[in-house]
Protein backbone atom coordinates (compact mmCIF):
# COMPACT_ATOMS: atom_id res chain seq x y z
CA UNK A 1 0.00 0.00 0.00
CA UNK A 2 1.66 3.20 -1.15
CA UNK A 3 0.36 5.29 1.75
CA UNK A 4 2.47 3.49 4.27
CA UNK A 5 5.58 3.67 2.14
CA UNK A 6 6.24 7.34 2.77
CA UNK A 7 9.49 7.87 4.67
CA UNK A 8 8.74 9.45 8.04
CA UNK A 9 10.22 12.88 8.06
CA UNK A 10 11.90 13.53 4.79
CA UNK A 11 13.50 16.92 4.97
CA UNK A 12 13.42 19.64 2.39
CA UNK A 13 16.57 21.60 1.75
CA UNK A 14 15.93 24.87 0.07
CA UNK A 15 19.31 26.53 0.19
CA UNK A 16 19.78 29.77 2.01
CA UNK A 17 19.56 32.34 -0.76
CA UNK A 18 18.49 35.70 0.55
CA UNK A 19 19.11 37.36 -2.81
CA UNK A 20 16.62 35.30 -4.71
CA UNK A 21 13.78 37.28 -6.24
CA UNK A 22 11.08 35.86 -4.01
CA UNK A 23 13.29 35.75 -0.96
CA UNK A 24 13.25 32.02 -0.42
CA UNK A 25 15.42 31.44 2.56
CA UNK A 26 14.71 27.99 3.80
CA UNK A 27 16.93 25.32 5.11
CA UNK A 28 15.88 22.06 6.58
CA UNK A 29 16.92 21.92 10.19
CA UNK A 30 15.78 20.09 13.26
CA UNK A 31 13.43 23.02 13.70
CA UNK A 32 11.27 22.15 10.73
CA UNK A 33 9.61 18.97 9.61
CA UNK A 34 7.29 17.69 6.94
CA UNK A 35 3.59 17.45 7.62
CA UNK A 36 1.43 15.54 5.22
CA UNK A 37 -2.12 16.80 4.92
CA UNK A 38 -5.35 16.87 3.01
CA UNK A 39 -7.11 20.20 2.56
CA UNK A 40 -10.43 19.12 1.04
CA UNK A 41 -12.83 16.70 2.78
CA UNK A 42 -16.58 16.08 2.84
CA UNK A 43 -18.53 14.27 5.54
CA UNK A 44 -22.15 13.60 6.40
CA UNK A 45 -22.36 17.25 7.45
CA UNK A 46 -22.81 17.83 3.70
CA UNK A 47 -22.58 15.30 0.87
CA UNK A 48 -19.85 12.94 2.05
CA UNK A 49 -20.95 9.41 2.94
CA UNK A 50 -19.25 8.94 6.32
CA UNK A 51 -19.18 10.34 9.83
CA UNK A 52 -16.49 12.97 10.35
CA UNK A 53 -14.86 11.08 13.23
CA UNK A 54 -14.52 8.01 10.98
CA UNK A 55 -12.88 10.15 8.31
CA UNK A 56 -10.54 11.74 10.84
CA UNK A 57 -9.61 8.30 12.15
CA UNK A 58 -8.87 7.12 8.60
CA UNK A 59 -6.44 9.95 7.91
CA UNK A 60 -4.83 9.47 11.29
CA UNK A 61 -4.36 5.74 10.70
CA UNK A 62 -2.88 6.37 7.26
CA UNK A 63 -0.13 8.47 8.82
CA UNK A 64 -1.32 11.91 7.78
CA UNK A 65 -0.37 14.83 10.01
CA UNK A 66 -3.48 16.88 9.37
CA UNK A 67 -6.86 16.94 7.72
CA UNK A 68 -9.15 19.87 6.96
CA UNK A 69 -12.93 19.39 7.04
CA UNK A 70 -14.43 21.37 4.18
CA UNK A 71 -18.10 20.58 3.95
CA UNK A 72 -20.28 22.59 1.58
CA UNK A 73 -21.33 25.89 3.16
CA UNK A 74 -21.38 24.44 6.65
CA UNK A 75 -19.08 24.16 9.65
CA UNK A 76 -19.16 21.16 11.96
CA UNK A 77 -20.88 23.29 14.58
CA UNK A 78 -24.05 23.04 16.63
CA UNK A 79 -26.63 20.30 16.94
CA UNK A 80 -27.46 18.19 13.89
CA UNK A 81 -29.39 14.91 13.90
CA UNK A 82 -29.71 12.69 10.85
CA UNK A 83 -31.70 9.58 10.06
CA UNK A 84 -29.49 6.54 10.61
CA UNK A 85 -30.48 4.92 7.33
CA UNK A 86 -31.60 7.76 5.09
CA UNK A 87 -28.30 9.42 4.45
CA UNK A 88 -25.43 9.01 2.01
CA UNK A 89 -23.68 6.39 4.12
CA UNK A 90 -26.76 4.58 5.40
CA UNK A 91 -26.64 1.47 7.53
CA UNK A 92 -23.12 0.54 6.41
CA UNK A 93 -21.68 3.79 7.72
CA UNK A 94 -23.61 3.53 10.97
CA UNK A 95 -22.51 -0.04 11.61
CA UNK A 96 -18.90 0.87 11.01
CA UNK A 97 -19.26 3.86 13.32
CA UNK A 98 -20.71 1.87 16.20
CA UNK A 99 -18.09 -0.85 15.75
CA UNK A 100 -15.21 1.62 15.93
CA UNK A 101 -16.56 4.06 18.52
CA UNK A 102 -18.23 2.02 21.20
CA UNK A 103 -19.51 3.05 24.62
CA UNK A 104 -21.27 6.41 24.96
CA UNK A 105 -19.72 8.05 21.94
CA UNK A 106 -22.56 7.47 19.48
CA UNK A 107 -25.72 9.37 20.47
CA UNK A 108 -29.02 8.17 19.05
CA UNK A 109 -32.68 9.00 19.54
CA UNK A 110 -35.99 7.92 18.06
CA UNK A 111 -38.05 10.55 16.34
CA UNK A 112 -41.23 9.93 14.36
CA UNK A 113 -40.48 6.23 14.82
CA UNK A 114 -37.15 6.60 13.03
CA UNK A 115 -33.76 6.07 14.59
CA UNK A 116 -31.59 9.16 14.38
CA UNK A 117 -27.93 9.77 15.17
CA UNK A 118 -26.35 13.02 16.21
CA UNK A 119 -23.43 14.24 14.12
CA UNK A 120 -20.42 15.07 16.23
CA UNK A 121 -19.19 18.61 16.00
CA UNK A 122 -15.66 19.72 15.32
CA UNK A 123 -14.59 20.25 18.93
CA UNK A 124 -15.78 16.82 20.00
CA UNK A 125 -13.89 15.13 17.18
CA UNK A 126 -10.81 17.22 17.81
CA UNK A 127 -10.80 16.32 21.52
CA UNK A 128 -11.17 12.64 20.74
CA UNK A 129 -8.71 12.24 17.86
CA UNK A 130 -6.19 15.06 17.62
CA UNK A 131 -2.78 14.42 19.15
CA UNK A 132 -0.52 17.41 19.84
CA UNK A 133 2.27 17.63 17.23
CA UNK A 134 1.20 14.31 15.72
CA UNK A 135 -2.24 14.67 14.23
CA UNK A 136 -4.20 17.87 13.73
CA UNK A 137 -7.75 18.48 12.62
CA UNK A 138 -8.62 21.84 11.11
CA UNK A 139 -12.05 23.37 10.66
CA UNK A 140 -12.60 24.60 7.14
CA UNK A 141 -15.38 25.09 4.64
CA UNK A 142 -15.97 24.68 0.94
CA UNK A 143 -17.61 27.95 0.00
CA UNK A 144 -19.95 26.53 -2.58
CA UNK A 145 -20.96 29.26 -4.95
CA UNK A 146 -21.68 29.51 -8.64
CA UNK A 147 -22.37 31.73 -11.56
CA UNK A 148 -25.40 30.88 -13.69
CA UNK A 149 -25.19 27.07 -13.77
CA UNK A 150 -21.46 26.86 -13.27
CA UNK A 151 -19.92 25.78 -9.96
CA UNK A 152 -17.42 28.11 -8.32
CA UNK A 153 -16.07 26.41 -5.21
CA UNK A 154 -13.38 27.65 -2.85
CA UNK A 155 -12.00 25.88 0.18
CA UNK A 156 -11.09 27.81 3.27
CA UNK A 157 -8.58 26.19 5.58
CA UNK A 158 -8.96 27.26 9.21
CA UNK A 159 -12.06 29.28 9.90
CA UNK A 160 -14.24 29.28 13.00
CA UNK A 161 -16.80 31.45 11.26
CA UNK A 162 -19.03 30.36 8.39
CA UNK A 163 -18.33 32.24 5.17
CA UNK A 164 -21.55 32.30 3.16
CA UNK A 165 -21.25 32.32 -0.65
CA UNK A 166 -21.43 35.91 -1.85
CA UNK A 167 -22.21 35.46 -5.54
CA UNK A 168 -21.37 38.06 -8.21
CA UNK A 169 -22.01 39.19 -11.75
CA UNK A 170 -19.30 37.08 -13.37
CA UNK A 171 -17.10 34.06 -12.63
CA UNK A 172 -14.23 36.36 -11.74
CA UNK A 173 -16.40 38.46 -9.45
CA UNK A 174 -17.72 35.37 -7.66
CA UNK A 175 -14.17 34.16 -7.00
CA UNK A 176 -12.94 37.59 -5.98
CA UNK A 177 -15.84 38.43 -3.66
CA UNK A 178 -15.37 35.20 -1.74
CA UNK A 179 -11.60 35.64 -1.55
CA UNK A 180 -12.07 39.20 -0.32
CA UNK A 181 -14.45 38.04 2.39
CA UNK A 182 -12.05 35.34 3.58
CA UNK A 183 -9.10 37.74 3.56
CA UNK A 184 -10.95 40.50 5.40
CA UNK A 185 -12.27 38.06 7.97
CA UNK A 186 -8.72 36.95 8.55
CA UNK A 187 -7.57 40.54 8.95
CA UNK A 188 -10.40 41.27 11.35
CA UNK A 189 -9.98 38.18 13.52
CA UNK A 190 -6.28 37.45 13.19
CA UNK A 191 -7.19 33.81 12.57
CA UNK A 192 -4.84 32.64 9.87
CA UNK A 193 -6.96 31.13 7.15
CA UNK A 194 -6.11 30.24 3.57
CA UNK A 195 -8.56 30.21 0.69
CA UNK A 196 -7.97 28.23 -2.50
CA UNK A 197 -9.89 27.75 -5.72
CA UNK A 198 -11.15 24.19 -6.19
CA UNK A 199 -11.26 22.05 -9.31
CA UNK A 200 -11.43 24.68 -12.11
CA UNK A 201 -12.33 22.01 -14.69
CA UNK A 202 -15.37 20.74 -12.76
CA UNK A 203 -18.14 21.34 -15.32
CA UNK A 204 -15.38 23.26 -17.09
CA UNK A 205 -16.65 26.23 -15.14
CA UNK A 206 -13.52 28.33 -14.87
CA UNK A 207 -11.11 29.32 -17.63
CA UNK A 208 -7.42 30.09 -17.22
CA UNK A 209 -8.14 33.70 -18.23
CA UNK A 210 -10.60 34.03 -15.38
CA UNK A 211 -8.51 32.32 -12.75
CA UNK A 212 -5.34 34.26 -13.61
CA UNK A 213 -7.05 37.49 -12.52
CA UNK A 214 -7.77 36.72 -8.88
CA UNK A 215 -5.88 38.67 -6.26
CA UNK A 216 -5.41 38.38 -2.53
CA UNK A 217 -4.68 34.66 -2.35
CA UNK A 218 -2.84 32.54 -4.90
CA UNK A 219 -3.74 28.88 -4.62
CA UNK A 220 -5.70 26.47 -6.78
CA UNK A 221 -6.02 22.71 -7.13
CA UNK A 222 -3.71 21.47 -9.84
CA UNK A 223 -4.79 17.99 -8.70
CA UNK A 224 -8.17 17.08 -7.21
CA UNK A 225 -8.87 13.39 -6.58
CA UNK A 226 -12.56 13.50 -7.43
CA UNK A 227 -13.12 11.50 -10.64
CA UNK A 228 -15.55 14.00 -12.19
CA UNK A 229 -13.42 17.14 -12.09
CA UNK A 230 -11.56 16.70 -15.40
CA UNK A 231 -8.02 17.38 -14.19
CA UNK A 232 -6.64 16.27 -17.54
CA UNK A 233 -9.09 18.26 -19.66
CA UNK A 234 -10.25 17.17 -23.12
CA UNK A 235 -9.98 18.23 -26.77
CA UNK A 236 -11.22 21.75 -26.16
CA UNK A 237 -10.22 22.23 -22.52
CA UNK A 238 -6.63 22.35 -21.24
CA UNK A 239 -5.57 20.21 -18.30
CA UNK A 240 -5.18 21.88 -14.93
CA UNK A 241 -1.38 21.61 -15.38
CA UNK A 242 -1.56 23.46 -18.68
CA UNK A 243 -3.85 26.06 -17.09
CA UNK A 244 -1.26 26.49 -14.35
CA UNK A 245 1.39 27.45 -16.93
CA UNK A 246 -0.93 29.81 -18.77
CA UNK A 247 -1.96 31.45 -15.52
CA UNK A 248 1.57 31.96 -14.23
CA UNK A 249 2.90 33.13 -17.58
CA UNK A 250 0.23 35.81 -17.80
CA UNK A 251 0.36 36.78 -14.14
CA UNK A 252 4.11 37.36 -14.33
CA UNK A 253 4.45 38.77 -17.86
CA UNK A 254 1.25 40.75 -18.28
CA UNK A 255 -0.70 41.21 -15.06
CA UNK A 256 2.01 42.02 -12.55
CA UNK A 257 0.55 39.51 -10.12
CA UNK A 258 2.36 36.98 -7.94
CA UNK A 259 2.83 33.32 -8.82
CA UNK A 260 -0.09 30.98 -8.29
CA UNK A 261 0.59 27.78 -6.36
CA UNK A 262 -0.82 24.35 -7.12
CA UNK A 263 -2.32 22.10 -4.45
CA UNK A 264 -3.20 18.41 -4.54
CA UNK A 265 -6.29 17.39 -2.55
CA UNK A 266 -8.67 14.48 -2.14
CA UNK A 267 -12.12 16.12 -2.23
CA UNK A 268 -13.22 12.87 -0.58
CA UNK A 269 -16.90 12.00 -0.59
CA UNK A 270 -16.96 8.21 -0.91
CA UNK A 271 -15.52 6.30 2.04
CA UNK A 272 -17.08 2.87 1.56
CA UNK A 273 -15.89 2.05 -1.93
CA UNK A 274 -13.07 -0.43 -2.22
CA UNK A 275 -12.51 -0.81 -5.95
CA UNK A 276 -9.58 1.30 -7.15
CA UNK A 277 -10.73 4.26 -9.20
CA UNK A 278 -14.29 4.07 -7.95
CA UNK A 279 -15.85 7.30 -6.69
CA UNK A 280 -14.24 10.13 -4.73
CA UNK A 281 -12.20 8.00 -2.33
CA UNK A 282 -9.73 9.55 0.12
CA UNK A 283 -5.95 9.22 -0.11
CA UNK A 284 -5.31 10.26 -3.70
CA UNK A 285 -3.65 13.66 -3.39
CA UNK A 286 -2.07 15.66 -0.59
CA UNK A 287 0.35 18.40 0.34
CA UNK A 288 3.66 18.00 2.15
CA UNK A 289 4.20 21.13 4.21
CA UNK A 290 7.51 22.03 5.82
CA UNK A 291 6.72 23.85 9.05
CA UNK A 292 8.09 24.48 12.49
CA UNK A 293 5.11 23.16 14.39
CA UNK A 294 1.83 21.41 13.72
CA UNK A 295 -0.69 24.22 14.16
CA UNK A 296 -3.11 25.79 11.67
CA UNK A 297 -1.19 29.09 11.83
CA UNK A 298 2.17 27.47 11.16
CA UNK A 299 0.81 25.38 8.29
CA UNK A 300 -0.88 28.31 6.57
CA UNK A 301 2.21 30.46 7.06
CA UNK A 302 4.39 27.75 5.52
CA UNK A 303 2.02 27.20 2.59
CA UNK A 304 2.01 30.90 1.79
CA UNK A 305 5.81 30.94 1.96
CA UNK A 306 5.90 28.13 -0.63
CA UNK A 307 7.33 25.69 1.89
CA UNK A 308 5.46 22.77 0.45
CA UNK A 309 4.97 20.52 -2.54
CA UNK A 310 1.95 18.61 -3.75
CA UNK A 311 1.82 14.88 -4.36
CA UNK A 312 -0.25 12.01 -5.63
CA UNK A 313 2.29 9.41 -4.51
CA UNK A 314 5.83 10.65 -5.11
CA UNK A 315 7.88 11.69 -2.07
CA UNK A 316 10.75 14.14 -2.41
CA UNK A 317 13.93 14.19 -0.39
CA UNK A 318 14.77 17.79 -1.13
CA UNK A 319 14.12 20.85 -3.23
CA UNK A 320 17.12 23.14 -3.31
CA UNK A 321 16.86 26.58 -4.85
CA UNK A 322 19.78 28.98 -5.19
CA UNK A 323 20.28 32.08 -7.34
CA UNK A 324 21.73 29.83 -10.00
CA UNK A 325 19.74 26.64 -9.97
CA UNK A 326 16.95 24.45 -8.74
CA UNK A 327 17.59 20.84 -7.69
CA UNK A 328 14.90 18.27 -7.05
CA UNK A 329 15.76 14.99 -5.36
CA UNK A 330 13.29 12.14 -5.12
CA UNK A 331 13.00 9.75 -2.19
CA UNK A 332 13.08 6.84 -4.60
CA UNK A 333 11.16 3.64 -4.01
CA UNK A 334 12.72 0.32 -4.98
CA UNK A 335 12.13 -0.86 -8.52
CA UNK A 336 10.70 2.51 -9.46
CA UNK A 337 12.07 5.04 -11.91
CA UNK A 338 11.25 8.72 -12.11
CA UNK A 339 11.23 11.47 -14.69
CA UNK A 340 11.87 14.98 -13.46
CA UNK A 341 10.63 17.69 -15.83
CA UNK A 342 11.52 21.33 -15.31
CA UNK A 343 8.82 23.41 -16.89
CA UNK A 344 8.64 27.14 -17.46
CA UNK A 345 8.08 29.98 -19.88
CA UNK A 346 10.84 32.19 -21.25
CA UNK A 347 10.48 35.95 -21.17
CA UNK A 348 10.58 36.22 -24.98
CA UNK A 349 7.70 33.75 -25.39
CA UNK A 350 5.26 33.95 -28.27
CA UNK A 351 2.22 35.55 -26.66
CA UNK A 352 -0.26 35.05 -29.46
CA UNK A 353 -3.49 33.30 -28.52
CA UNK A 354 -6.50 32.12 -30.46
CA UNK A 355 -10.02 30.97 -29.58
CA UNK A 356 -10.35 27.33 -28.55
CA UNK A 357 -13.05 26.69 -31.17
CA UNK A 358 -14.29 28.49 -34.28
CA UNK A 359 -17.78 29.03 -32.91
CA UNK A 360 -17.47 32.50 -31.41
CA UNK A 361 -20.22 32.03 -28.86
CA UNK A 362 -18.91 28.71 -27.57
CA UNK A 363 -15.33 29.93 -27.43
CA UNK A 364 -16.18 32.67 -24.94
CA UNK A 365 -16.52 30.11 -22.13
CA UNK A 366 -13.34 28.21 -23.02
CA UNK A 367 -9.72 28.81 -22.18
CA UNK A 368 -8.02 30.17 -25.31
CA UNK A 369 -5.26 28.35 -27.12
CA UNK A 370 -1.76 29.51 -26.27
CA UNK A 371 1.52 29.03 -28.09
CA UNK A 372 3.85 26.12 -27.42
CA UNK A 373 6.21 28.59 -25.73
CA UNK A 374 3.90 28.73 -22.72
CA UNK A 375 4.99 26.08 -20.23
CA UNK A 376 7.73 24.34 -22.20
CA UNK A 377 9.82 21.51 -20.84
CA UNK A 378 13.14 23.24 -20.17
CA UNK A 379 14.91 20.11 -19.09
CA UNK A 380 14.03 16.50 -18.48
CA UNK A 381 15.93 13.92 -16.48
CA UNK A 382 15.47 10.27 -15.61
CA UNK A 383 17.84 10.40 -12.65
CA UNK A 384 16.46 10.44 -9.11
CA UNK A 385 17.99 13.87 -8.64
CA UNK A 386 18.18 16.62 -11.24
CA UNK A 387 19.35 20.21 -11.41
CA UNK A 388 18.13 22.95 -13.67
CA UNK A 389 20.48 25.91 -14.11
CA UNK A 390 18.60 29.15 -14.51
CA UNK A 391 19.56 31.17 -17.56
CA UNK A 392 17.80 34.23 -16.18
CA UNK A 393 15.45 34.51 -19.12
CA UNK A 394 12.72 32.38 -17.53
CA UNK A 395 9.58 33.99 -16.14
CA UNK A 396 9.30 31.06 -13.75
CA UNK A 397 10.44 27.46 -13.43
CA UNK A 398 8.51 24.66 -11.78
CA UNK A 399 9.14 20.93 -11.67
CA UNK A 400 6.96 17.89 -11.91
CA UNK A 401 8.15 14.41 -10.99
CA UNK A 402 6.42 11.43 -12.55
CA UNK A 403 6.88 7.92 -11.23
CA UNK A 404 7.00 4.81 -13.40
CA UNK A 405 4.31 3.46 -11.07
CA UNK A 406 0.68 4.03 -11.79
CA UNK A 407 -1.48 5.54 -9.11
CA UNK A 408 -2.89 2.59 -7.09
CA UNK A 409 -6.29 4.26 -6.83
CA UNK A 410 -6.44 6.78 -9.66
CA UNK A 411 -9.10 9.44 -10.14
CA UNK A 412 -8.51 9.11 -13.87
CA UNK A 413 -7.57 5.75 -15.40
CA UNK A 414 -3.86 5.46 -16.20
CA UNK A 415 -2.71 8.27 -13.89
CA UNK A 416 0.88 7.93 -12.72
CA UNK A 417 2.02 8.98 -9.28
CA UNK A 418 3.43 12.49 -9.33
CA UNK A 419 4.83 15.33 -7.28
CA UNK A 420 4.41 19.00 -8.16
CA UNK A 421 7.17 21.42 -7.14
CA UNK A 422 5.98 25.01 -6.86
CA UNK A 423 7.07 27.66 -9.38
CA UNK A 424 10.19 29.70 -8.69
CA UNK A 425 10.89 33.10 -10.22
CA UNK A 426 14.63 33.25 -11.00
CA UNK A 427 16.46 36.52 -10.45
CA UNK A 428 17.64 38.50 -13.46
CA UNK A 429 21.30 38.17 -14.18
Shortest distance (Å) from residue 41 CB to Zn ion: 8
Residue placing its CB nearer to Zn ion in the complex, 231 or 267: 267
Using CB under 5 A, which residues numbered 173 to 202 contact Zn ion? Answer: 198
Shortest distance (Å) from residue 78 CB to Zn ion: 21
Can you tell me the distance from the alpha carbon of 256 to that of 254, in angstroms, rounded to the nearest whole number? 6
Shortest distance (Å) from residue 154 CB to Zn ion: 9
Instruction: Choose one: 45-53, 266-274, 293-301, 372-380; the region binding Zn ion (CB under 5 A).
Output: 266-274
The residue with its CB nearest to Zn ion is 153
Residue placing its CB nearer to Zn ion in the complex, 176 or 325: 176
Instruction: Choose one: 262-270, 285-293, 313-321, 410-418; the region binding Zn ion (CB under 5 A).
Output: 262-270
Query: Given candidates 141, 145, 267, 341, which one binds Zn ion under the rule CB under 5 A?
Result: 267
Q: Does the footprint of Zn ion cover residue 221 (CB under 5 A)?
A: no
Residue placing its CB nearer to Zn ion in the complex, 237 or 306: 237
How many residues interact with Zn ion (rule CB under 5 A)?
A: 4
Residue placing its CB nearer to Zn ion in the complex, 175 or 425: 175
Residue placing its CB nearer to Zn ion in the complex, 200 or 296: 200
Residue placing its CB nearer to Zn ion in the complex, 142 or 245: 142
Question: What is the DSSP pairing of strand 325-330 with strand 369-370?
Answer: unpaired
Residue placing its CB nearer to Zn ion in the complex, 268 or 426: 268
Using CB under 5 A, which residues numbered 310 to 329 contact Zn ion? Answer: none
Shortest distance (Å) from residue 40 CB to Zn ion: 6
Shortest distance (Å) from residue 30 CB to Zn ion: 36
Can you tell me the distance from the alpha carbon of 413 to that of 406, in angstroms, rounded to the nearest whole number? 9
Using CB under 5 A, which residues numbered 101 to 160 contact Zn ion? Answer: 142, 153
Shortest distance (Å) from residue 361 CB to Zn ion: 27
Residue placing its CB nearer to Zn ion in the complex, 59 or 390: 59
Shortest distance (Å) from residue 220 CB to Zn ion: 12
Residues that bind Zn ion (CB under 5 A): 142, 153, 198, 267
Amino acid sequence: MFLSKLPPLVLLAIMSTSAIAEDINLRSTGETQWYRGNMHTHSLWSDGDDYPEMIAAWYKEQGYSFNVFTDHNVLLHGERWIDVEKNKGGKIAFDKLTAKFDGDWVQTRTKDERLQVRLKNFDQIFDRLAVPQKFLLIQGEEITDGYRNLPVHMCVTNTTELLPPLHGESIVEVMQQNINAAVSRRERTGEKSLVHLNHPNFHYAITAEQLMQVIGENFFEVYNGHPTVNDSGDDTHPSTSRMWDIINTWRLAKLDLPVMYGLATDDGHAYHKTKPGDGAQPGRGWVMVLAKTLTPDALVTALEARQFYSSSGVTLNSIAVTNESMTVTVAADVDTSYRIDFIGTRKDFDDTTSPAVDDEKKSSGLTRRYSKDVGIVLKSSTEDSATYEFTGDELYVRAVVTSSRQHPNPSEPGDFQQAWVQPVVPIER
